[in-house]
Amino acid sequence: MQDLKITLIQSDLHWEDIGANLAMFEEKIWQIGQSTDVIVLPEMFTTGFTMKANKLAEHMNMRTFKWMKQMADQTGALVLGSFIATIHDRFYNRLLWMEPGGTFKTYDKRHLFRMGEENQTYSPGESLLIGHWKGWRICPLICYDLRFPVWSRNRWNAALKRPSYDLLLYVANWPLVRVNAWETLLKARAIENLSYVAGVNRVGVDGNGIEYNGQSAIIGPKGDSIFSGQEMETIKTLQISSNSLHAYRDKFPAFMDADDFTIDSEELMERDQLFGQS
C-alpha cells in the first residue's frame, strides 16, 4: 500500500449540456500537469443536479462511459464521477468507477434528496461499493449520503485484520446555503471512521438558480484539514500517506470498540416503498 495522489476537480457546470461538460472536463484533466492516481469529478458532472432524467439519461457503455474510459486510459488514473444512468426503464444517480484498461464498478446513490424531489425521479441504490486501487480500499458515495453515517460505517474486517476501507470519497452538488453542514460532516465522517475523507463539490449557479461555493476538501483520519478549497474553480492534486494512516490506527484503534450491527436490505426496501423512493 503506497501513498496515493488524489486530484480534485472543482468546477462550474454547463447546465444540462453533456457535450459541453465533457469537453470542459477533458481540458481540465489535461491541466493537471502531473501524474496522479485518482481523479475525482463532481456529482452529475455532465449535467448539473437536474431532474430531467427522461431527457438526459444515458445507457451504460454510451457517451459518458466511453469518455471516462478514455480519460482513465490516457491518464493512467482511476476516474470517478456520477452521471444520470438508465437501466430497465429506471433512472439512477450513478457513480462510475473507471480504471485504466476499462475495468469499472458502479455505485447508485442510496439517499435521494427528497427536498429537491430527487426521490420522485431516481431509484435508490441497494448496495455499498468498496473498490481496491493501488493497495487502498476506497468507498465512494454521493452528496446527500454524507448525512447518513450508518451507511458509511467503516467496520472492522476480522479476516483481514483491518477496517473495511481507507478512503471515503464524496462527489457532490452541495449548495452554498448548507455549506457549513458539508464542512462539518466531512470531518465527522473522517473522525468516526478513522479514514481519509475527500469531498468534491461544484461552484457556480445552476439552472434552478441554486448557488454553489465549492469548499472541496481532503480530511485526515484525525479530522485535520489537509486541503480546503475556496469558492473558485480549482484543480488540486495532493498525496495522502499510507504510513500516517496505519500509524494512527495502530495507536488509536477506536473502531475495535464500535457497536456491531447489520443493515437489513429487506427493511430498507420496505422503507423505500413506503416513502415512494423505488
Residue numbers annotated as active site: 43, 109, 143
β strands within the chain, DSSP E: 4-10, 38-40, 78-87, 90-98, 104-108, 131-133, 136-142, 156-157, 162-163, 167-171, 196-200, 203-205, 211-213, 217-219, 225-228, 234-240
Q: Which of 140, 166, 174, 126 is nearest to 249 (CA)?
A: 166
**Would you put residue 276 in left (φ > 0), alpha (ψ -120 to 50) or beta?**
left
Q: What are phi and psi of 232, to 5 degrees?
A: -130, 165
Neighbour order of strands in the sheet with 225-228: 131-133, 136-142, 167-171, 196-200, 217-219, 225-228
* DSSP-derived secondary structure for 81-131: EEEEEEETTEEEEEEEEE-TTS-EEEEE-SS--GGGTHHHHSPPP-S---E
Cell of 194: 478513522
CA angle 246, 252, 255 (to 5 degrees): 90
β strands within 153-224, DSSP E: 156-157, 162-163, 167-171, 196-200, 203-205, 211-213, 217-219
